[in-house]
């Protein structure tokens, strides 16, 4: 039963990565593309990590995987935000109808 749940997690991560790649090619500007890839990476890596935690035979390995996932969930959204902010500061314009919040 645990293997089936782990394989479902792996399939869900494959779907998340695939949708992120689709968003990378379909969305109109760098900010929406970055959002699609950032969200799908975070979800995809989380599901892969959950699947690996379910399949790991040792508790030490589970703890290491949890630490890696925690660090990834902190670093990935933060870096996506910083890259988008740097793009705005350096003058990369979003698509025409995007509303920006000043401040």
Residue 76: closest CA among 39, 36, 21, 25? 39
pTM for the predicted model, two decimal places: 0.82
Q: Over its length of 103 residues, how does the chain's per-residue pLDDT go in tens digits?
A: 999 999 999 999 999 999 999 998 998 888 888 889 888 999 999 999 999 999 999 999 999 999 999 999 999 889 988 998 898 898 888 888 777 676 5
Would you list the domain boundaries of the chain? 2-89
What pLDDT sits at residue 103? 55
């Amino acid at each position: 039963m645990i293997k089936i749940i782990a394989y479902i997690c792996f399939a869900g991560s494959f779907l998340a990565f695939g949708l992120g790649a689709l968003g990378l090619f379909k969305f109109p500007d760098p900010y929406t593309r970055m959002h699609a890839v950032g969200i799908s990476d975070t979800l995809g890596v989380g599901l892969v990590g959950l699947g690996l935690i379910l399949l790991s035979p040792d508790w030490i390995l589970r703890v290491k995987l949890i630490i890696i996932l925690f660090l990834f969930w902190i670093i990935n959204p933060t870096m996506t935000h910083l890259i988008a902010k740097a793009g705005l500061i350096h003058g990369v314009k979003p698509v025409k109808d995007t509303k920006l919040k000043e401040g």
